[in-house]
Copies of this chain bind each other. A is one copy, B any other.
Amino acid sequence: MTVTDEASAAAGLGALHLEVQQFYARQMQLLDDGRVEEWALTFTDDGVFAANAHPEPAAGRAAITAAAARATEEFAAKGVKRRHWLGMLAVDPTGPATAVARCYALVIETPRGGQSAIRVSTLCEDRLVREGDRWLVEYRYVTRDDLV
């Protein structure tokens, strides 16, 4: 590659990185705010959420919505506030409108009147697709560090 090609490629990767970062921030805020239907819309219609902590994946938006709603109600009933932090994000394009992302994710829990703590530390691996002006998760796999 020429120097100009390299600069252009770096700018393209930077823009992709930044778009995914913004997407993840909004996606996690939706989940932590209990906006489970909007959360499910950040997955493709046939999107899959799989994890080494789950006996089987949630496949499709309906299943993803239902799983998030159950968790949201459970934590609300316990008076526990959850926040998902993603970080150390690496994104690689796999096509003009597809990418894979690999990042770390922490769940921070705070009981009402109590002490905040890290609930779990995980690795989050996504296959992403772009539809129009937004990214969607096609396949997510979350690996809890304590279960490896």
Interface residues of A (CB under 8 A from B): 1, 6, 9-11, 13-15, 17-19, 21-22, 24-26, 28-29, 81, 83-90, 102-104, 106, 108, 110-121, 132-133, 145-148
Contact = CB atoms under 8 A, between A and B. Distances in A.
19 contacts: A9-B133, A10-B15, A14-B15, A14-B18, A14-B19, A17-B18, A25-B90, A29-B90, A29-B102, A83-B104, A85-B87, A85-B106, A86-B88, A108-B121, A111-B146, A114-B146, A116-B120, A116-B121, A116-B146
B87 A87 contact: yes
A108 B28 CA distance: 20
What 5 A-B pairs come out closest when comparing CB atoms?
A: A110-B145, A116-B121, A81-B145, A14-B18, A25-B88
A132 to B, nearest CB: 8
